Chain A
Amino acid sequence: MANTGWNEFEIGAMLRSFDGGIDDIAGTLQEDRNYSQNNSFSASVADWRIEKPVFNKDYCIDCQFCWIYCPDISIISRDKKMVGVDMDHCKGCGICVEVCPTNPKSLLMFPEHADEETEIARWPEKETKEK
């Protein structure tokens, strides 16, 4: 695309989201969609992140709050079960952690370089409410 001439662009400064036509896009999983090169799904923004969310499924109740609140559709959910985080599109905003209702939280923010397995192994204990 970098060497495309002025006469080769589709006119109108518009981009197609998918290659070819689509049918039942809502019923098609993201990994099965025929995203075009121009779709933002095709671009990784992982390098924006300085902190990453780590998911501990032992405490997850599949409430889907993180899926609803994630501004970048980076929470992967299948059959209403939280599966993990799409690390190509997560920008590390921490909203998923903020809205996680479990005790202890099943999503926590850690520095980008932290090792996931180590952090899950020493996950925080349940907090007791102060009366």
Chain B
Amino acid sequence: MAFDKMELRDIEVWDGNFAAAQAMRQCQIDVVAAYPITPSTPIVEGYAKFLADNYVEGEFVMVESEHAAMSGCIGAAAAGGRVATATSSQGFALMVETLYQASGMRLPIVLNVVNRALAAPLNVNGDHSDMYLGRDSGWIQLDAYCPQDAYDLNFIAFKVAEDHEVRLPCMVHQDGFMTSHTAQGVKTLTDDQGYNFVGDFKPMNDMLDFEHPVTHGVQTEEDWHFEHKARQHNDLMTKVLPKIQTAFDEFEKLSGRKYNIVEEYDMADADVAVVCMGTSVETAREVATEMRAKGIKAGVVGIRVIRPFPFEQIKDALKDVKAIGALDRSSPNGAPGMLFNEIAGALFNADTNALLSGYVYGLGGRDLTKAHLTDLFTELQANVDAGKVTTPLQQFIGVRGPKLSFL
């Protein structure tokens, strides 16, 4: 190979951004088209540096907007390259139109989304608004809780997205600044291990296959559109989760690190549980342990795969709990939060009488403290003791002013 290999220590001190950039380097991306945006900028900066220093063979395409960035990625992926990029918040919102093109054309692009609030008011800090914005776009969405996850899940993302039975683009989410700019010890793979895990890129029906020319992104109208969308939906609903599970298993064999589609913590005998995503999972786990010392059987369910939503696994994880708190880090704007809705949907016909309440927290980077979670678990336990929901179905945590709650 013409490029240089990088000697990594077994454990490197990386933040989430650099961890993602290193994973992209080890996967040997052919094309990155990017328009950097806070807080995801260092990901593509890192890739550009590796490219300049001959650690990767590829192309960095400088474009004039995020819409063009994803468009460039789509073109490169349709032409037959391994493609990735990164974005956040407003840039992600600008990409949305093209996200549907990528998934509809079944191009295995990997997008690192460093989650950040959507304006207005303008805010560079983390919440899950952009993650929620993309959830109907037909992409697979994986969620990292820490830099280690951000590194590992990039390999998983390429592995799953490029599977010839899946061929769907994949996002890897990490919390803006909390994960992306906090340096932690990250256990590494060697360049060979990382590359061999994802394998050589095998394009299918690429435009640069001159012996079998194809037209990509065709117009279909009412004749075919429904069928194509139905197939995409079917593949997401039935094929993707087993592939992710297989990739997780293979990754465990390689690295010893175990990932699950739904991350259960102390759920075996839990009475009360919170379901959350991102960095909050680690805080919630710590508080759950403290609650157990106080006699409240608390557990935590972390969502690792947001789309396709793991309804069965959620149902299984929550089958024995008596009260559930769904924690949404996005402004639901006129409805209960996404997690509240999805969990309600998963449990509605399940054999459980669990009490479900929704909590909105951490918008625009507002902290979710251990004190908040302690109150939350206590409240859930009060629901269990009363045998009914004693509080409104939707409450806002840590917002200044009079208490905000609905329904």
> Which one of A18-26, A52-60, A97-105, A113-121 is at the B interface?
A18-26
Cα distance A4–B230 in the bound complex, in angstroms:
13
Q: Contact: B213 with A17, CB < 8 Å?
A: yes
Known: A21-B211, A21-B212. A14 touches B227 (CB 8 A): no
Scoring B residues 30 to 63 as 1 if CB is less than 8 Å from chain A, else 0, what string do you get? 0000000000000000000000000000000000
Closest to A21 in B: B211
Which 7 A-B pairs have CB atoms at the shortest separation, nearest pair first? A6-B227, A12-B106, A6-B230, A15-B215, A17-B213, A21-B211, A14-B214
Cα distance A96–B210 in the bound complex, in angstroms:
30
Q: Is B202 an interface residue (CB 8 A)?
A: no
Q: Contact: B214 with A15, CB < 8 Å?
A: yes
Q: Is B292 an interface residue (CB 8 A)?
A: no
Closest to B224 in A: A9
Known: A14-B105, A14-B205, A14-B218. A9 touches B212 (CB 8 A): no
Scoring A residues 3 to 17 as 1 if CB is less than 8 Å from chain B, else 0, what string do you get? 011110111111111
Q: Contact: A11 with B212, CB < 8 Å?
A: no
Option from B105, B210, B215, B227 in Cβ contact (under 8 Å) with A4: B227
Cβ distance B212 to chain A, nearest Cβ, rounded Å:
6
Number of residues from A at the complex interface, CB < 8 A = 20
Tell me the B residues contacting A by CB distance below 8 Å.
Answer: 104-107, 167, 204-205, 210-218, 220, 223-224, 226-228, 230-232, 234-235
Q: Which residues of B contact A10 (CB under 8 A)?
A: 205
Option from B106, B217, B218 in Cβ contact (under 8 Å) with A11: B106
User: Told that A12-B105, A16-B213 touch, could you supply 15 new A-B pairs with CB distance under 8 A?
Assistant: A2-B223, A4-B227, A6-B227, A6-B230, A11-B167, A12-B106, A12-B107, A13-B105, A14-B105, A15-B214, A17-B214, A18-B213, A21-B212, A22-B211, A38-B215
Closest to A2 in B: B223
Q: Which residues of B contact A14 (CB under 8 A)?
A: 105, 205, 214-218
Cβ distance A5 to chain B, nearest Cβ, rounded Å:
7
Cα distance A6–B224 in the bound complex, in angstroms:
8
Closest to B212 in A: A21
Closest to A4 in B: B227
Cα distance A18–B205 in the bound complex, in angstroms:
13
Closest to A26 in B: B210
Known: A9-B227, A11-B231. A23 touches B106 (CB 8 A): no
Q: Which residues of B contact A16 (CB under 8 A)?
A: 212-215
13 sample A-B contacts, Cβ–Cβ < 8 Å, listed by A number? A5-B227, A6-B228, A9-B224, A9-B227, A11-B106, A11-B167, A11-B228, A13-B217, A15-B215, A16-B212, A16-B213, A16-B215, A25-B210
Closest to A38 in B: B215
Closest to B229 in A: A6
Cα distance A11–B106 in the bound complex, in angstroms:
7
Cα distance A5–B216 in the bound complex, in angstroms:
20
Q: Which residues of B contact A12 (CB under 8 A)?
A: 105-107, 167, 204-205, 216
Q: Which residues of B contact A13 (CB under 8 A)?
A: 104-106, 216-218, 220, 224, 228
Q: Which residues of B contact A25 (CB under 8 A)?
A: 210, 213
Q: Which residues of B contact A38 (CB under 8 A)?
A: 215
Q: Contact: A23 with B211, CB < 8 Å?
A: yes
Cβ distance B345 to chain A, nearest Cβ, rounded Å:
23
Cα distance A35–B170 in the bound complex, in angstroms:
34
Known: A12-B167, A13-B104, A14-B105. A7 touches B213 (CB 8 A): no
